[in-house]
Amino acid sequence: MYVCICKGITEKDIHQAVEQGISSLEKLCEVTSVSKDCGCCADHACKVLQEAVRSSIK
């Protein structure tokens, strides 16, 4: 599912970023440009990031 339509970032992209060591929204924005345009996706991106980080710990 798309998280950021402006940049075409999907949940899978965020999970892959976490697998590469990204664990903060700030770093995620730097690497993927998620929420850099309109910012409407920031809350959803944060939730997906938190879920991805939790699932990578298990």
Domain ranges, ordered by start, for the chain: 2-57
Architecture of domain 2-57: Orthogonal Bundle (1.10)
pLDDT at position 57 is 85
**Residue tagged 């809350």 (tokens):** 43
Q: What is the pLDDT of residue 54?
A: 95
In sequence order, which residues have a C-beta less than 8 Å from that of residue 52 and are 6 or more positions away? 14, 15, 17, 18
Tens of pLDDT, residues 2-57:
999 999 999 999 999 999 999 999 999 999 999 999 999 999 999 999 999 999 98
